[in-house]
Structure 1
Amino acid sequence: MAGDGQTAVLDTAWAQIPHSPQATAGIGSFTRSRVERIISLVAGGLGSVIVGLQAFLTALGSTDERPGWHAGLMISVFGSLAVMILACVIGRGVRAAAGVFAFVYVLALVAWPIATAGVPPDALDEPWIWYLLNLATLAAVLAFPFPLQIVWTILAPVLFGLVRLVQVGFAQEYWVAVGLDVSFALILGGVILTLGWLFRSMAVNVDETRARAVASYAKAAAADAAEQERVAVAALMHDSVLAALIAAERAGTPRERTLAATMAREALTRLANTEQDAHEGTDEPWDAAAVAAAIAEAASELGVDVDVQRDIDPHGTPIPGRVARALALAATQAVANAVQHAGGAGLGVAVTAVGGRVRVEVHDAGEGFDLEAVPDDRLGIRASIVARVAAVGGKADLETGPHGTVVRLDWQEPPA
C-alpha cells in the first residue's frame, strides 16, 4: 500500500510538468528525447538533404569511376542516405538507418580505389564522395556511442585521404589539396561531434535536475499526506474512541453497557478502516468459502496469485457479514504486508472453518520484523489487522522471526 501511494504521488508530480503530444519518455529522459528529435530533424533531416543534394548533383556528371561501378556506388550510398533522411524526418529507426549509412559510406570509401582504378582524374577537384564525408560523421553521432563517434570522426577523413591518394597514384600535386580536404573534414566533423555531445550533456543535466525536483516534490507531498493522516486519526480517536471510553466508564445499567460496547465496536471498526474506504455494511451471513474467495480475489488485485488452502466444513455455521468482511480485509492487509516487506516469498493463505470457529492464517518466508519498532502512525498491523478483528469479537495473533511471519485470525461464534 505504501508503494502504491508513493507511485501515485510521483504520477501527480510528473503531471505538473507540461507534456507535448510527442512526449513518450519518462522523467529521466524528458529533455534528452526532445534534443535527440531536434538533432535528427535539423541535422539528419534538413542538413543531410542539402548536403546530399549537392553531392548527388555532382555525382551525376562524375567520370571518376570505371563503367559498372558508378551506378552501384550511387545506389548504395545515396539509397542508404535517403533511408536515413526518411527515418530522421518520421522519427522512427533513426539509429539503425544512420548506422547503416555510416557503414555503407566507409565500405564505399574502401571500394573507391578499385572503382577508379585505371581512370585518370579530370582535375584537382574533389570527387562526389567527398561531399558526403561529414554526413558519415553525423550518422555516427546519431547512431553510435560516444567513443565510436570519435573513431568515426577521425577514421572517415583519414580513410578518404588515403583512398584519394591511391586513386591519383600518390602524385605530389594532389598532396596539398588532399591534405586541405582532410583537414577541413576533420575540423567540421569535430564541430559536429562537439555540438552533439554538448547538447546531449545539457539535456541529461536538465533531466537529472527535473528528476530531483520531482522527487523533492513527491517527498514533500508524502510528508504532507502523512501529516494529514495523523490529524485524521487524532480526530477519530478523540471523537469516536474517546467518546466510547467515556460512555463505558459512565455505564451503570446493562443497557448502557450494551450501548457503550456497540460504540466501542463501531469506533474500532472506523479506526481499522482508516487506510481503506471500507464500511461495516450489512450483517447478511457468509460461508467460509466466500471468505476464502474474497481473500484470493483481493490478493489478485494486489498482483499476486495465492492458492488459498481450504479446510471447510460444508455444514458449518454461517459467518455474520461484518465478521466475514473484517476477516477478509485483515487477511488482505496481511497479504499486502507480505508482498511489500517480504517480496511475497513463501506466501500462503489457509482458511479453516469447523463448527462455529473460523481461522484464517497468512504466512510468508521473509526475514521478519520487530513489531515494537513499527512507527505508531503506521496502521497496517495495529488497526487494519488487530483492531479490525477485535472490533468483531475476534482475535489476531502474529508470530515473526528470521524464518518468516505468520498472522492468525480467529473468530469463534459466541454461545447462544
Structure 2
Amino acid sequence: MSGVAAGLADHLGVSALRVRVLFVLAGLCGVGLLFYAWCWALMPMRAGDTTPTRRVPVAWVLLTGAGAALAGLLLSAADGRSLWVWFRTGELTGYSFRFWSTLPWVWTVTVLATSAGVWAGAVDRDDPARGPRHAAIVRTLSALALAVVVMIVVPTAEQRGGRAVLGDLVVPVAGAVAIAASALLQAWRRLVDDRIGRVRDEQRAAMAAHLHDSVLQTLALIQNRSEASSEVSRIARAQERELRAWLYDGDSPADSDLPTDLRDYAGALELDFPVRIDVVSTGSSAERASGELAAAAREAMLNAARHAGGDVSVYIEGAASAVDVFIRDRGDGFDPAAVPADRWGVRESIIGRMRRVGGSAVIRSVPEVTGTEVRLSMPTSGARRD
C-alpha cells in the first residue's frame, strides 16, 4: 500500500509478490510489522511519475469520511444523547456494561482524520494537479477535526469523570502526534534528498572540471582537425554531446522539454548521417518532447540530414504567444509543390501534423538554390484560448 514491498523487490531484483507474501508471513509473529515500519520510515523514496492525474486522492476520501463522522458526533452531542448507555448480559451473570453513546463517533473521527493526515504527509505521492500545499491543507483539516473532538470530550468530565475523559483524550492526542510526526518525516526526507542532490552536484562539477580540461578539449580538437562530414568528426561530436549532456544536464525527466529532445535527436542523426546539427534555443517554452511540434521538427531534421547533409541549424524561439522552430540546411533545395502525391513525409508528417493541432508549417526552398528552411509555429495554450 505504501510501496515498501515494491521498492524492496525492485532493489533486490525479485518478484514483488514474493516480498509481499514474506511480509505477511513475518507479520504473523510481529517481526514483519516492525521491519515494514522500519523500511517505510527509513527507505529513500524514489521520484515517481510527476504527470498530473485526475484521480481522487485517498487522503480526501478519508477526510470526507471523518467529516461525516464529525457531523454525527456534533448532532449526537447537540441533541443531548451523549449519555451512558447500559447493557445487561442476562440474569445469570448479573453483570452490566455501559459506554458513552458518542464514543463510536469519537473513535471513527479520530481514526479517519489521523489516517488522512498521515497518508497525505507520508504515503501519498506528489501530484502537480493537487498543488504544492495539498498535504499541508489535509493535515490542517485533520488537526481541526481532532481539535473539535477534544472540545466535545472535555466538557463531559463532570458527567463521566476525569479518568474516563483522559482515557478518551489519549486517542485524538495520539492522532495529532502521528500527523505531526508524518509532517516531520516528510521534511526530513526532503532534507536528506536535498543533501544527496548537493553532494551529487558537487561531485559532478568536480568531474566536469577535470573532463573539460582533458577529454572534452581532445574531442573538440579532433573535430577541428577533420572535416565536418567525416566519420571521425561525427563520432567525436556525438561523444562530446553525450558527455556534456551527462555532465551538465543531470537527470532529465521521461518527458523532457523541446530543446533537450531535439538536441538528443540531433546527436542520434549525426551517428547515422554525414551531417553536423547545431541546436540553439532562446526564450522559454512549455512544449514537451511528446508534443506534435517536436514530432514535426524531428521529421524536418531527418529530411535535412537524409537529403541535404553537411551543416544543419535548428533554432527554437519561445515566446508568450507562440513557439517557433526553424530548421535550415545548405542542400540543393527543392520545389515543395513538385513533391509526388504518394510522398507523405513533408505533406502529412510536417504540414498536416502542424495544421491538425492548430499550428502552421512553412517551407521555403528553391530548386538548385543552396538551402532549405522549414518554419514550424505552434501557438501557446493561452494564445489559443484568446
The question of a shared fold, defined as TM-score above 0.5 by the shorter chain, is answered with: no
Query: What is the TM-score normalised by the length of structure 2?
Result: 0.41
Q: Greater strand percent: which structure?
A: 2
Q: Which has the higher contact order (CA 8 A, sep 6+)?
A: 1
Q: Greater helix percent: which structure?
A: 1
Query: What is the TM-score normalised by the length of structure 1?
Result: 0.39
Decide which structure has the larger Cα Rg and report it: 1
